[in-house]
Amino acid sequence: MTIRTRFAPSPTGYLHIGGVRTALFNWLLAKQAGGQFILRIDDTDSRRNLDETLQPILDGFNWLGLDWDEGPEVGGPHTPYFQSQRLAHYQAAAKKLLASGHAYRDYSSPAEMATEREAAEKEKRDFVYSRTWMAESDEQAAEFESQGRSFVVRLKMPRDGKCEFHDLVRGDVSFDWGREADHVIQRGDGTCLYHLANVVDDHDFDVTHVVRAVEHLSNTPRQIFILQSLGYEMPQYAHIPFVAEPGSKNKLSKRKIDQYLNNKDFKRLYQAGAEIAKRIGVEADPYSFNPVLVDFYRDIGFLPDAVLNYLVLLGWSLDDKTEDFSREEMLEHFSADRIVRSEASFDCQKLLSFQASYMNALPLKQKTKMCLGFLQKANLVSDPVECEQGNLISRIVESAGDRICMAGDILKFDTFFIADQNMEFEEKPFQKRMVKPANAGFLLAEFNKILNATDDFDAASLETALHGFCETQGIVVGDVIHALRVAVTGKAAGFGMFDTMAILGRERTCNRIQIALDELAKRVEANQ
RNA sequence: GGCCCCUUCGUCUAGUGGUCUAGGACUCCGGCCUUUCACGCCGGCAACACGGGUUCGAGUCCCGUAGGGGUCACCA
């Protein structure tokens, strides 16, 4: 039997990181067995524009490389894969359930239901409908209708015995039938509800394994009742724990961003992302752009494999030490029986650390290509890029090394792409390294003369030159190199100073030092 | 509140009665390296929720308590 799994997102406009984890487990389970992973769109309740709300989700899956065998864009033998287009199937199922006596027309009014519900609550017992307005025959129905009532279709749930099933993650599970409410499966207007649609679709699509978050565990009995009443075969269930908030066990929710922003690590990641977003023209509103959403990672230059590697370990492990999983390794080793039962909180730091190590392992050429995209979006480099500038970027990326954790970090090295006269000096380092040391100006001016005259302008020659200079002046490298960095880059931190100067070239390096000296003179004058 | 679920370092986890003075990873804290920043290297802190059993022996089994969570729609 081939394994068929599905992920069924509602088109909400964004792809949630917890959802992706569920999708990943589904994908892994199907793909490792040579089965199919299906994307089904749960849009029965959707009133919004589908293009707008679905596309970001599809984009997210595409970016992550979680390909689906059947669903939107690719079609498949069970098309359509949109619930909004499958109403006829659900209605046929509801009709069948009605005919077999597993469902009934209910003529109660919302107010009457509410009264019963409140009574149950007061007596601290489960709410089970009295079935006072249940119509099982056309005569009864006519009678209720003559009273001006209208009906919905409800499930006629068993009132005794137990619903038992095996769950791949939770083991043997059992619920009392008697506690299950008679849920509505079809509205008065003929439209159908989620549980019915879900069961019918899973059956129609030949889904063999239903892998979903635990919050659906308590919905399972009613779905089993539907499927058994319809004569369907029961799928394998696997209810996986949800992804919890950073630092708590609450379910991760996109609505509580304000609260997460109080979390130190979450905030730091968000701010790093927002910094990049701002420069490439991406809206950084925390409600639509934050570490709970997959877009966030794509937009700031994460590697999909790093995200996936982090997510696969959120609630699953292979053994006591293996942490690095390529896609192939995940496919080889993943198994439902090693899924953890307790919820796992989302940890930005760990995700970041996977990103750092994946980025570090990325070949220079690919890393450069990723970075180039960000430089172009920030309008620092033309698109298409000129060949010479391409080489320059490659050198910068190489020298920056692991200082570029996400591709958007390249923007920290924007100094190379800014015209000398437009360069800005960070205030604090300028004070500390240029203004405060009495001899900084003198040393820089002297060293600038040497830079102007030196034969070669590669990193090694520059290093020799500086060491020679320090010896002549009777100082150590540390006495001048900080001022040099501030003068040449405007910043306190960066990669190797000799690489920096070599990449910039003689003309620009000397020019910048002169600009810094002029600036210094201005300040000194102003202070006197 | 009813029902269901969960509970090992701050976080993700290993652990299926003795090999657990509880292992790994991230974070954190020292130190080394160093022109800054980062990396890297070395070292360190840090956990079996609690109480009863069962057993020669319990993180591991049973019961209870506490805490946390999910769910109770004509949402999905």
Q: What are the angstrom distances between the C-alpha of A129 and each of A145, A303, A402, A427, A447? A: 20, 52, 63, 71, 89
**What whole-number percentage of chain A has pLDDT above 70?**
99
Burial of A446 (0-12, 13-18, 19+ CB in 10 A): middle
Helix (H, G, I), strand (E, B) or coil at A365: helix
Nearest nt (C1') from A317 Cα: B13
- The predicted pLDDT at position A462 comes to 96
Residue A147's CB: how many other CB atoms inside 10 A? Answer: 8
Residue nearest to nucleotide B38 (CA to C1'): A403
A47 confidence band (pLDDT: 50, 70, 90): low
Q: How many angstroms separate the CA of A172 from the C1' of B52?
A: 27
Burial of A477 (0-12, 13-18, 19+ CB in 10 A): middle
Average pLDDT over residues A378-395: 94
Strand B contacted by A255 CB (< 7 A): no
Q: How many angstroms separate the CA of A148 from the C1' of B34?
A: 86
Residues 396-415 of A with CB under 7 A from strand B: 401-403
- The predicted pLDDT at position A439 comes to 92
Nearest nt (C1') from A188 Cα: B74
Q: Residues A254, A350, A369, A432: which is the catalytic one?
A: A254
Residues A390-411 have pLDDT tens digits of: 999 999 999 999 999 999 999 9
A393: left (phi over 0), alpha (psi -120 to 50) or beta: alpha
Structure tokens at A463: 């290093």
Residue A232, amino acid: Y
A254 is catalytic: yes
Nearest nt (C1') from A194 Cα: B76
Average pLDDT over residues A48-68: 92
Helix (H, G, I), strand (E, B) or coil at A249: coil
Strand B contacted by A126 CB (< 7 A): yes
Residues 411-450 of A with CB under 7 A from strand B: none
Residues A166-223 have pLDDT tens digits of: 999 999 898 999 999 999 999 999 999 999 999 999 999 999 999 999 999 999 999 9
Strand B contacted by A497 CB (< 7 A): yes
Compute the distance between CA of residue A278 and CA of residue A346 in angstroms, rounded to an integer: 25
Residues A7-16 have pLDDT tens digits of: 999 998 899 9
Residue A74, amino acid: V
**Strand B bases, protein C-beta under 7 A:** 1-8, 10-15, 23-27, 35-40, 68-76
Residues A245-302 have pLDDT tens digits of: 988 888 888 888 988 998 999 999 999 999 999 999 999 999 899 999 999 999 999 9
Query: Which of A435, A448, A437 shows the shortest CA–CA distance to A488?
Result: A448
Residue A476, amino acid: V
Strand B contacted by A59 CB (< 7 A): no
Structure tokens at A126: 């489960």
Assess whether pLDDT exceeds 90 at residue A525. Answer: no
- The predicted pLDDT at position A309 comes to 97
Residues sharing a CB contact under 8 Å with residue A243, sequence separation 6 or more, in sequence order: A17, A18, A21, A251, A252, A314, A315, A343, A344, A345, A346
Strand B contacted by A342 CB (< 7 A): yes
Task: Pick the range with the lowest mean pLDDT from A49-58, A262-271, A310-319.
Answer: A49-58
Q: What crossing angle do the helices spanning A440-453 and A506-527 adopt, rounded to 10°?
A: 160
Burial of A372 (0-12, 13-18, 19+ CB in 10 A): buried
Assess whether pLDDT exceeds 80 at residue A46. Answer: no
Assess whether pLDDT exceeds 90 at residue A126. Answer: no
| Whole-number average pLDDT of chain A | 94
Residues A462-490 have pLDDT tens digits of: 999 999 999 999 999 999 999 999 999 99
Nearest nt (C1') from A478 Cα: B35
pTM score over 0.90: yes
Q: How many angstroms separate the CA of A107 from the C1' of B29?
A: 68
Average pLDDT over residues A300-319: 97
Residue A528's CB: how many other CB atoms inside 10 A? Answer: 5
Average pLDDT over residues A334-352: 94
Strand B contacted by A173 CB (< 7 A): yes
Residues A488 and A517 sit within 8 Å (Cβ to Cβ)? no
Residue nearest to nucleotide B4 (CA to C1'): A218
Strand B contacted by A125 CB (< 7 A): yes
Query: Which of A244, A266, A262 shows the shortest CA–CA distance to A253?
Result: A244
Strand B contacted by A217 CB (< 7 A): yes
- Please tell me what DSSP assigns to residue A234: P
Strand B contacted by A183 CB (< 7 A): yes
Helix (H, G, I), strand (E, B) or coil at A39: strand
Strand B contacted by A473 CB (< 7 A): no
Residue nearest to nucleotide B75 (CA to C1'): A45
